Amino acid sequence: MSPYSVLVVDDEEFMRNICGRVLRGMGHEPVFAGTLAEALEKINALERLDLLITDLHLPDGHGIEAASCFHGKFPGAGMLVITAFLSLDTHIEEFQALGVSENDMLSKPFSVSALETAVKAKLPGRGGPP
């Protein structure tokens, strides 16, 4: 069985590295993007993604754009939002339309165990490889 494929979108290299270590430790295959443009490119290029983990504030756009593109191509896949600004208020209707609620958000900084728990909750089979 192959690992889950997870796209991590964050402009902070440190956050991408931490998420990558946690995901690999869980047996998953992380893919990384540091900008909205890179995220959109990867979403469009990849045949399969099982989970999107995205920051809200990116240097060239907003995480809602990545989430919308991701949801359009992979409608059954899970999404998590990681942000230092723990509020969906400015984009609440857009996020709700994508199936993202405040329960799908992690506030930076977050613990490794909080990320592991959130990932397990968003993947089929509670986070084990497919």
30: left (phi over 0), alpha (psi -120 to 50) or beta: beta
Domains assigned to the chain: 5-122 (3.40.50.2300)
Q: Sorting pLDDT into bands at 50, 70 and 90, what band is 107?
A: confident
* pLDDT value for 2: 66
* pLDDT value for 84: 80
Q: Sorting pLDDT into bands at 50, 70 and 90, what band is 6?
A: very high
Spatial contact of 36 and 61, defined as CB atoms under 8 Å apart: yes
